[in-house]
A and B are shown apart, each in its own frame.
Chain A
Amino acid sequence: MNGMPTALITGGTSGIGLALAQRLAGGHCLVLTGRGDGAGLPVDALFVKADLSRPEEAVETVASALRSAGVSSLSKLILNAGTGTYAQADAEDAATIRRTLDVNLVASVLMAHRLAPLLEEGRGRLVLIGSVAHRGSANMPSYAASKAGLTGLARSLRAEWDGRIGVQIIHPGPTRTPMHEKAGYDPGGLEKMFFSADAMADEVARLMETGRPGATVIFGARIRRLLTGKPS
């Protein structure tokens, strides 16, 4: 690809990932993954179709697509794809638990593992999209667990990779995206309080520039956006 740095975003086909892709499009070569057909993505972006609920296959698919496209270094690996189901502990079946852990945690571990050499080559950074739920959630226990897993991964890997590859984790607060409906949750009137996907992507992009190791996007961001006249 041309001289611009390359950013890979998993789940770049919807919600926060897509909004972030649109924001990064000008200054980056983009690689976006998802399960769909890749319609409606920024032009020039390379779309890779991969189902992260089968992490081993998906990682192979992404790695070989990068190889075919001649991408040998990454400046950002943004592991954003995520899924969850709104259900309490006794209503989560094995398939739900496994899918949630596979997409959110196992796929992230294996993707970071496989693409670490490209990040090192690009003096790049691993960016994990967590969630405020990483501290626990009675209504989404396995989702919360998967995001806590990402938090733990980020913390230890950051220390391990110190000076080689950056590691950042960003925890979005509630955001208006299709995720809630897919999870079987109707926020009702609460949705008005959510960030828009654009505002969230804006905050994530801003945090990526600071390189802060970890950050939560919720009240502080909302107040700052209010004060600076930006829409939430």
Chain B
Amino acid sequence: MKALVTGAAAGLGAALVQQFLSSGGAVVAIDRDELQGGGRLVPLVADLSDRDSVDALLPRIVEAGPYDFVVHNAGVSATGPFEQIPPQAYRRLLTLNTETPMVMTAELLRSGSLSKGAHVVFISSLSHATGYPGAAVYAASKDALAVYAKSVRAQMKKRGVHVTTVFPGPVRTAHAERHAPAGARADQRMEPKDLAARIIAAARRRKKVLYPGPQARIGHIAGLLAPRLTTRMMRRIIFEKLDRTVY
């Protein structure tokens, strides 16, 4: 079993790598930060928010394949009033969160780097169900990724590859800590380890979508039943409490 994980150095990515390794798999782990390799862990260094870096990485990914499990996990947010975040931050965010997973998926398909029976997982966000005032471009990037995943599912299936899209709510990571509004409670965020286990299990059960945990399930249902009200509530509990701009 060989897995490919992006954003592997911290948070959910690191938890995924650990679980793949401890279940006896090999992992090709991509991050901007150099990871300690060895054994069944092959680290690749690349800045996935930079096109040239991605282009240089693609042949190395293909060379290190084929893969049985791919998780497009790397992502960043940009929180604060829409106009106050610099355009360069939006560009990097859209490249990292949306463009790179798409370019990578197309290349994995084209080069035949996905084994028969492989799982490809896209990490979107619960914002797909709820909207995210105060992170409008992050929300856009995650909606785009979710719909890309949905669009490619049928063709991937013909090749024996199964696609799962995950819509996590808040996760207890340094990333979430940086972007949370003042007074947000960390104990309500899901542990990366717990989330990683749920993601692997859901992909293996060939679920199309996963809303992990009660918070995400409630958000999903609220968004389905009352989309506008839910987004207005998000404005109240997030946007109006944001006390800083983080990107």
What is the interface of chain A, defined by CB distance below 8 A to chain B? Answer: 55-56, 59, 88-90, 92-94, 97-98, 101, 105-106, 109-110, 112-114, 116-117, 134-138, 140-142, 144-153, 155-162, 213
Q: Helix, strand, loop or mixed for chain B's interface? A: helix
Partner-contacting stretch, out of B5-13, B23-31, B96-104: B96-104
Looking at B36-44, B83-91, B169-177, B211-219, the stretch in contact with chain A turns out to be B83-91
Contact A150 B140 (CB under 8 A): yes
Query: What is the chain A residue whose CB lies nearest that of B134?
Result: A160
Output the least CB separation between B112 and chain A (Å).
Answer: 9
Residues of B within 8 A of A158 (CB): 231
Chain A residues with Cβ below 8 Å from B150 are 135-136, 144
Bin the interface of chain B by size.
35 or more
Complex: A113 Cα to B93 Cα, angstroms: 15
Choose one: B144, B152, B155; the contact of A148 (CB below 8 Å). B144
Do A141 and B131 touch across chains, with their CB atoms under 8 A apart?
A: no
**In the complex, B70 has a CB within 8 A of chain A:** no
Looking at the complex, which of B60-68, B184-192, B232-240 is the stretch in contact with chain A?
B232-240
User: Which residues in B have their C-beta under 8 angstroms from that of A134?
Assistant: 147
How far does the alpha carbon of A94 sit from the alpha carbon of B51 in the complex, in Å?
10
Give 10 closest A-B pairs by Cβ, nearest first.
A152-B143, A148-B147, A149-B144, A141-B151, A156-B136, A145-B148, A90-B109, A153-B140, A89-B152, A159-B133
Residues of B within 8 A of A155 (CB): 131, 139, 227, 231
Q: List 6 A-B contacts (CB under 8 A).
A: A88-B155, A98-B51, A138-B155, A152-B136, A152-B139, A162-B232
**How far is it, in angstroms, between the C-alpha of A112 and the C-alpha of B156 when the chains are bound?**
35
Give the most central of B137, B150, B234: most A CB within 10 Å: B137
Q: What is the minimal beta-carbon distance from A218 to any residue of chain B, in angstroms? A: 18
A residues less than 8 Å from B227 (CB atoms) = 155
Q: Which residues of B contact A151 (CB under 8 A)?
A: 143
If A149-B144, A157-B133 are given as contacts, then 17 extra A-B residue pairs at C-beta distance below 8 Å, sorted by A number, are A88-B152, A90-B109, A94-B103, A106-B94, A117-B83, A140-B151, A141-B148, A141-B151, A145-B151, A148-B146, A149-B140, A152-B144, A153-B136, A156-B140, A158-B231, A160-B136, A160-B235
CA distance A138 to B150 in the complex (A): 8
Partner of A113, one of B87, B109, B146, B152: B87
Q: Which residues of B contact A146 (CB under 8 A)?
A: 144
Within 8 Å by CB of B131, from A90, A109, A152, lies A152
How long is the Cα–Cα vector from A213 to B234 in the complex, in angstroms?
Answer: 17
Q: Taking CB as reference atom, which chain B residue is nearest A162?
A: B235
Per-residue interface assignment for chain B, residues 86 to 130, with 1 indicating a CB less than 8 Å from any chain A CB and 0 otherwise: 010011001000110011011101100000000000000001100
B151 contacts A137, C-beta separation under 8 Å: yes
The answer to the question of B154 belonging to the interface, with a C-beta cut-off of 8 Å to chain A, is yes
Q: Is B110 within 8 A of A142, CB to CB?
A: no
Question: When chains A and B are docked, how far (Å) is the Cα of A152 from the Cα of B110?
Answer: 29
Q: Which residues of A contact B235 (CB under 8 A)?
A: 159-160, 162
Instruction: Decide: B135 and A142 in contact? CB cutoff 8 A.
Output: no
Interface on chain A toward B: helix, strand, loop, or mixed SS? helix
Structural contact, A145 and B87, CB atoms closer than 8 A: no
Residues on B with C-beta less than 8 A from A90 are 106, 109-110, 155
- Verify if B247 is at the interface (C-beta below 8 Å from A): no
What distance in Å separates the Cβ of A24 from its nearest Cβ neighbour in chain B? 26
A192 to B108, CA, bound (A): 38
Are A160 and B239 CB-contacts (below 8 A) given A97-B102, A113-B82? yes
* A156 B231 Cβ-Cβ under 8 A: yes
Taking the nearest CB of chain B, how far is it from the CB of A120, in angstroms?
Answer: 9
Set of chain B residues within 8 Å of A156, measured between Cβ atoms:
127, 131-136, 139-140, 231
B151 with A56: CB separation less than 8 A: no
B55 in the interface (beta carbon within 8 A): yes
Chain A residues near B128 (CB, 8 Å)? Answer: 152
Q: In this assembly, does B145 line the interface, its C-beta being within 8 Å of a C-beta of chain A?
A: yes
Which residue among A93, A151, A152 has the maximum number of chain B CB atoms within 10 Å of its CB? Answer: A152
User: Would you give the shortest CB distance from B30 to chain A, in whole angstroms?
Assistant: 16
* Contacting pair A101 B109 (CB below 8 A): no
B143→A159 contact, CB < 8 A? no
Contacts of A92 in B (CB 8 A): 102, 106
- How far is it, in angstroms, between the C-alpha of A194 and the C-alpha of B241 when the chains are bound? 46
Find out whether the CB atom of B98 lies under 8 angstroms from the CB atom of A145.
Answer: yes
